[in-house]
Structure 1
């Protein structure tokens, strides 16, 4: 039997074909979760799978599964994949490269007549991005939990106000006549995902493969200072209760300390708003969001505590009040040692230079790690740019990532 080999031309052509679904004028992709574009991409992947003789299934969350049978079909499958949905002005590689690489691995095994000892399944998770419906990674979360949270049903899309539950059911129904049905949370032996790095490290260091050892923890805070609106021209300093002054003072101190004093910390303010928003009135409220990340849970706790203290100090100094609400709390995850070892062995056998790294972004693998041993492989992207129409992966890096992924799958199957 000829050893399985990645067909690089086929993979690159598939990337082009899927990038045409939801293509934007700027060269990117707008294929948000549970839209017509998302359904079209699912239908194309389903057609390609059936043409190769693979079985295709979906669950109630519209997660799509493509199954290659193994010599012992009773064993839990090895699960590989990523997602197909994109940001509104996203790139053509984020998610799609991982899903199509996993499918190329399945085709490469079939081309070689390789029969795995257990089934291998490709998955395309639903709504990883979380931009149309929040939270992100809905498909992976529901799979791991074994149910769809009731509070998701009434969510409305940010683009057109469509109900999540209506869009989910429509997406399932679009392919239901041709697909088998799966229950959420079925057993798998392990999960492996390939993704673009979404950062500059691999490209700058000239390393083709990143072996991801874990995902850093994330806290999202919503902060609102409340003061007193008053006339801008008649209110002297000693009479002002300015929430925006408190907010900006606190943020200046946090920007100056959080990341500079801890190189692994990530501190980001993504939104700022004031009310009533009049040019000649002191604001009544000033609010912001804070995205805080760190790979160690205890450090994350300390950072959050110090941020809350700084916000409270700023509020007291300006005689205003502050309310802080935590909206996301995702603990750091360390991937399974035996999977990481298998990836390192695969890289050695395939002669790939690698770099061990922590993922700064969260991915479906973060949640799958709570269900089965999981790991990730990163490939370089130009300038580390992602969630952007200019996102780009060199063809040779896409093919190299696929070769590493195939070598890793074969190592895991051993």
Structure 2
């Protein structure tokens, strides 16, 4: 069987799933599918109902990740996996994460309708809690699937909106703390993992292309709770030379790092730096006061581990310099983050070749956002990613993925799940 004779994904089913997801998770402002909450659970329940209607196998692990499997002819062979997350940020968009799960379901539905059986198991994974905005932990669901989390520490995490522990929310979803975080997936049993996801930036839109083939996922260094501490003072009575102004210090620090970023980018480094939060204490600060404290968060990302190391050292050096200049104290706080993940060269080549064979305009590109595919790659599993063009950005209600673009990405996904030479059999 050639790649062109693979049954097409069921885009009608995909459209129905997207509509239902939107209806069930619109909160009046945007799409909210809260991790280990009602929104995420409703999405998981929808995929479970759909899977059972297609006579697919359904399983849920102790972390409450979902697995939908189309059994293969040789069930002892390594399986191929796809999927993504089903949670969203608060008031986010309908396609971030969900498009990957829906694409996998559309592929399996197309094969079921055509009466075909793959040579090995094909599993679609619905990952829990990819969005760390709810619980401050990167890749919680996918790391839990591989047994790579500190169970007690993670269960004690408090959700950002409710203040309740993850253990409490887990119970609401029918989970058992005793089995939470137990390994369900074994890297040696997985031949490859390929994730479809909307692009969350403007690269494909600006290039006028429907699809991207991801070369790697940027790693990150994050300081969520950095602070500059100065001294509160009267805004009119204290001259510049006598101030210990936390806001001025933060501005000087950000400007210095921005200049460093520009220089590193000029040198050809892959790097993005984002500052946020920038909040004074509302209980202390006032219009006529020099600010005595300010909170800052920093997110540094790169495909190059050495660049991350160098920028981390640069942050510490600039903080010390600005602290001395502005007569304040800088505290960067706890550092978190994730390592870069390189996609498998063979999968990149296959996806690019398939796109050319199908006449699908595509381009190689890095992923600036983190994805669960990184966890699979870091476990030694050959991993690939497909980006689908998405207008108006992401993590907002205006996400705008065209279903025709999605269909092209899903077709590439189908080919990656059953590569050339691996014939689907008649049932």
Q: TM (normalized to structure 1)?
A: 0.92
Report 1:160-199 matches (<5 A): 160-173=162-175, 183-186=183-186, 187-199=189-201
**Aligned counterpart, 1:266:** 272
Q: Distance in 1 between matches of 2:245 and 2:327?
A: 8
Contact 2:343–2:382 (8 Å) recurs in 1: yes
Question: Is the aligned partner of 1:151 residue 2:153?
Answer: yes
Deviation of 1:261 after TM superposition, in Å, equals: 4.2
Q: Distance in 2 between matches of 1:45 and 1:266?
A: 35
1:391 corresponds, among 399, 407, 426, to 399
SS in structure 2 at match of 1:262: helix
Contact 1:14–1:100 (8 Å) recurs in 2: yes
**Aligned counterpart, 1:327:** 335
Q: Distance in 1 between matches of 2:362 and 2:317?
A: 41
SS in structure 1 at match of 2:337: strand
Stretch of structure 1 that moved more, 320-329 or 41-50: 320-329
Q: Distance in 2 between matches of 1:374 and 1:172?
A: 31
**Aligned counterpart, 2:134:** 132
Report 1:102-113 matches (<5 A): 102-113=104-115
Residues 144 and 381 of structure 1, relative CA distance in 2, 3 Å threshold: same
Report 1:96-107 matches (<5 A): 96-107=98-109
Contact 1:105–1:402 (8 Å) recurs in 2: yes
Q: What do residues 252-287 of structure 1 show as CA deviations (whole Å, max 9, x unaligned)? A: 222233146416321111111224323333222223
Question: Is the aligned partner of 1:257 residue 2:269?
Answer: no
**Aligned counterpart, 1:70:** 72
How many corresponding residue pairs? 406
Q: What do residues 10-67 of structure 1 show as CA deviations (whole Å, max 9, x unaligned)? A: 22122111211111335x4111111112212211211111111111001111000011
Contact 1:258–1:265 (8 Å) recurs in 2: yes
SS in structure 1 at match of 2:173: helix
- Where in structure 2 are there 5+ consecutive unaligned residues? 423-427
Q: Distance in 1 between matches of 2:277 and 2:421?
A: 46
SS in structure 2 at match of 1:80: strand
**Aligned counterpart, 1:115:** 117
- Where in structure 1 are there 5+ consecutive unaligned residues? 175-180
Q: Distance in 1 between matches of 2:36 and 2:241?
A: 53
Q: What do residues 212-247 of structure 1 show as CA deviations (whole Å, max 9, x unaligned)? A: 011112111242222222333333333322222222
Report 1:33-72 matches (<5 A): 33-72=35-74
Q: Distance in 2 between matches of 1:365 and 1:230?
A: 50
1:288 corresponds, among 275, 278, 296, to 296
Contact 2:86–2:101 (8 Å) recurs in 1: yes
**Aligned counterpart, 1:350:** 358
Report 1:191-210 matches (<5 A): 191-210=193-212
Q: Distance in 1 between matches of 2:265 and 2:183?
A: 43
